[in-house]
Chains A and B, each alone.
Chain A
Amino acid sequence: MNNLSDSFEHFELISAYLDGEVTEEERAFIENNPLLLSEVEKLKEITESTSSMVPIDPVLQEKHINKALSLLPKNTKVVPLRRRKVTQRGALVAVAAAALAFILIPVLNSQDNESDNSEIFATGFTESSSSLKSSGEIESENETEPQASIIPESDEDPEMVAESPLDAPTTKNSKPQSEMAPDENTLDTESGVASSEEEEMTIEEAETEAEPETESPQIASADISREDIVPGVFEGTEALDNLLETTNNLWQVEPEIFTIPLSANSIGNFFTSNADFETCLNNTNFLETSQHVALHLQRVILNEIPSLLLISENLELETEPVISIYQINSSCSLVFEDSLLERTPSD
């Protein structure tokens, strides 16, 4: 009889019996066998335990953690168990989102280019020149689903926060990107065209056609309210050094800015607003989605050349985020790439 109860086939049968996934014949077989029935009881106990386990509510968990931390004596240093948990949890979904963006953007652009190519560029330039609203802001307005996110405050340790949804843009500390009046920053998000008067728009378009390179960087970031993350223009012999230094400083001061993966919408909006960067999507090295997840995208001018600043994270290696700078030309050449902290600008 031991053979009967120890046999895995019978164990499998018992397991299926508990789940109500047996035939009448199998049910009868088990119910007529006391040893199997005793096994059923044991297994039932386990099944009930695993069934009753409810995932812990992250909000409640955060509350309890904060309460526990508040009870700690002052000057006690809390060392997080896992440094990069927030990022890594979101990384997989971000990869999927990025992959989706890669698939959708060329398709959408090819469709639009056939019918209304000029409108895209006009819209993009309008956004660039007037610094209306960042693509992230547009995205946040378009999103209809409520975001139950917990975004770390800038003065908090990002490692101590609960997991955040991946594409959870926040509107806190929202600042205008440029110094223009708020009215001029209004954008009709449904049409993607500035809602200011047509006359003004025509003037802006004319200006941007004459001077297509704008000094206002277009940013796609998880924390889209931080539009002034990195200045948009870097000139001179130390332009690259300055750009890297600025980014590096920001990473060290506020690393949480670079820990939330970009959503597909953010990436999509970025490339829609920066049509001249589309060549990067065809660059095989750019945002290799099998390994990297994009944390931050920004348009910068590096010695008068429009460039793309990408901060990404390698999913496989637990390293610091990587900063990549692509020069926007026909092939979207990679001009610099290194870890944020280990970069050597002068090289």
Chain B
Amino acid sequence: MEDQISDRLLIEEALHSLPDEFRIPLILRDQTGMSYQEVADVLSLPEGTVKSRIARARARLKVEIFGNQNEDQNVKGLEHE
């Protein structure tokens, strides 16, 4: 039980630490079940951008949760491309 709470808090914290541009598409996708196209319509973004932002959000969450330094650098590097 404690582990579950701890995990949830960790994920919640990681989720809230994401910049809005990544967090919002991810939440729309994961918590409302919208398709990429629907998220793109809601946020007035190209579908490709939504796909990319959701992936980046997850990459960041993965780093936050699993602590993969290499991927952290990789993701950060890609953000500036």
B20 contacts A by Cβ under 8 Å: no
Residue numbers in B under 8 Å from A21 (CB-CB):
35-36, 51
Contact B66 A50 (CB under 8 A): no
Chain A: minimal CB distance from B31 (Å): 6
Q: A50-B15, A53-B8, A53-B11 are in contact. Are A19 and B62 (CB under 8 A)?
A: no
Q: Nearest CB to that of A21 among chain B residues?
A: B36
A-B CB pair tally, cutoff 8 Å: 62
- Of residues 203 through 261 on chain A, the ones whose CB sits less than 8 Å from some CB of chain B are none
- Of residues 159 through 202 on chain A, the ones whose CB sits less than 8 Å from some CB of chain B are none
Chain A: minimal CB distance from B24 (Å): 13
Contact A8 B58 (CB under 8 A): no
Residue numbers in A under 8 Å from B66 (CB-CB):
42
Q: Nearest CB to that of A14 among chain B residues?
A: B55
Contact B8 A49 (CB under 8 A): yes
B1 contacts A by Cβ under 8 Å: no
A46 contacts B by Cβ under 8 Å: yes
- Of residues 54 through 75 on chain B, the ones whose CB sits less than 8 Å from some CB of chain A are 54-56, 58-59, 61-62, 65-66, 70-71, 74-75
Question: Once bound together, how far apart are the Cα atoms of A21 and B30, in whole Å?
Answer: 13
Chain B: minimal CB distance from A15 (Å): 4
Contact A11 B11 (CB under 8 A): no
Q: Nearest CB to that of A45 among chain B residues?
A: B65
What is the predominant secondary structure among interface residues of chain B facing chain A? helix
Chain B proximity mask over A1-32: 1 for CB below 8 Å, otherwise 0: 00000101001101110010100000000000
Q: How large is the interface on A (under 10, 10 to 19, 20 to 34, 35 or more residues)?
A: 10 to 19
Contact partner, A46, options B65, B70, B71, B74, Cβ 8 Å = B65
Residue numbers in A under 8 Å from B74 (CB-CB):
6, 8
Contact A47 B12 (CB under 8 A): no
Chain B: minimal CB distance from A321 (Å): 27
Contact B58 A15 (CB under 8 A): yes
Chain A: minimal CB distance from B19 (Å): 15
Contact A50 B59 (CB under 8 A): no
Binding site for A on B (CB under 8 A): 7-8, 11-12, 15, 26-27, 29-31, 35-36, 51-52, 54-56, 58-59, 61-62, 65-66, 70-71, 74-75, 78
Q: Which 10 A-B pairs have the closest CB atoms?
A: A15-B55, A12-B55, A51-B30, A8-B78, A50-B30, A49-B11, A21-B36, A46-B61, A15-B58, A11-B59
